[in-house]
């Protein structure tokens, strides 16, 4: 029997459909509940305007707003629906609107870092880091079936040091800019500056908005 060319670990389609179906319903139900209780709540804000609408329009608008809020959250959750494809030449990580391919020969090990999947290179450099809610057991089995190394945690975990301003021989401006992005929750800047630090020879991980780093060997 010929070896299967690609091993795929997808986010189950039923899970993605469930997110899109359930979160709008939950959002509508929550906003309806808030509307019913608004007279007893210490806040109202824009919902006071909805409450003053004539029936049944107050209910219709509340349910519609709740459903829209639920759809926004569903889109955010679905954006992290990762699919991992391990082929003979490369490992491809895809999620809606994003694709990253890493040559298989460059990968030394893969491991989960909380809710992310990380691929490291031969010198310990970070090749990829993507949001992932995939089963760690399924990922471990997929890597093993393709003869690739897998670790249950970062193999360099004990080598990280906490970044503080003014440490010698570090790109302090980049670390400082990334700290501001962490504090403000700017995910795009956080990702871009992580990659910039990677190009400069540093791997960074975050703990409660604190940056910890190691240099690449």
Tokens of 169: 């021989």
Percent of the residues in the chain that have a pLDDT greater than 90, as a whole number: 61
Residue-wise pLDDT for 5-50, tens only, equals: 888 998 877 877 888 888 889 988 888 777 777 666 656 566 666 6
Tokens of 189: 């800047």
Q: Which pLDDT does position 18 carry in this prediction?
A: 86
Exposed (0-12), middle (13-18) or buried (19+): which is 24, by Cβ within 10 Å? buried
Residue-wise pLDDT for 171-206, tens only, equals: 999 999 999 999 999 999 999 999 999 999 999 999
Q: Which pLDDT does position 51 carry in this prediction?
A: 65
pLDDT range class, residue 4, cuts 50, 70, 90: low
Domains and CATH numbers, the chain: 13-78 (no CATH), 82-155 (2.30.29.30), 159-217 (no CATH)
Q: Which pLDDT does position 39 carry in this prediction?
A: 61
Q: Which pLDDT does position 1 carry in this prediction?
A: 35
pLDDT averaged over the chain? 88
Q: Which pLDDT does position 2 carry in this prediction?
A: 37
pLDDT range class, residue 77, cuts 50, 70, 90: confident
Residue-wise pLDDT for 114-168, tens only, equals: 999 999 999 999 999 999 989 999 999 999 999 999 999 999 999 999 999 999 9
Gap between the Cα atoms of 210 and 164, Å rounded: 9
Q: Which pLDDT does position 50 carry in this prediction?
A: 64
Better-scored residue on pLDDT, 182 or 81: 182
pLDDT range class, residue 3, cuts 50, 70, 90: very low
Q: Which pLDDT does position 82 carry in this prediction?
A: 92
Exposed (0-12), middle (13-18) or buried (19+): which is 85, by Cβ within 10 Å? middle
Gap between the Cα atoms of 34 and 82, Å rounded: 34
- C-alpha distances (whole Å) from 112 to each of 38, 80, 116, 117, 172 are 43, 14, 6, 5, 28
């Amino acid at each position: 029997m010929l070896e299967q060319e690609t091993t795929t670990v997808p986010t189950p389609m039923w899970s993605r459909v469930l997110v899109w179906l359930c979160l709008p319903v939950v959002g509508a139900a929550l906003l309806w509940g808030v509307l019913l209780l608004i007279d007893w709540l210490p806040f109202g804000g824009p919902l006071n305007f909805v409450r003053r609408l004539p029936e049944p329009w107050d209910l219709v608008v509340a349910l519609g707003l709740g459903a829209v809020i639920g759809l926004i959250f569903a889109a955010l959750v679905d954006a992290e629906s990762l699919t991992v494809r391990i082929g003979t030449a490369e490992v491809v990580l895809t999620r809606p609107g994003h694709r990253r391919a890493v040559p298989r020969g460059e990968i030394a090990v893969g491991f989960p870092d909380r809710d992310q999947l990380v691929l490291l290179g031969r010198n310990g450099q970070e090749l990829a880091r993507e949001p992932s809610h995939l089963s760690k057991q399924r990922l471990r089995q997929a890597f093993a079936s393709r003869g690739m190394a897998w670790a249950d945690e970062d193999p360099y975990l004990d080598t990280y040091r906490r970044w503080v301003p003014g440490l010698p021989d570090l790109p302090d401006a980049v670390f400082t800019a990334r700290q501001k992005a962490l504090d403000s929750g700017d995910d795009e800047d956080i990702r871009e500056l992580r990659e910039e630090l990677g190009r400069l020879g540093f791997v960074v991980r975050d703990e409660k908005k604190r940056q910890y780093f190691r240099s690449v060997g």
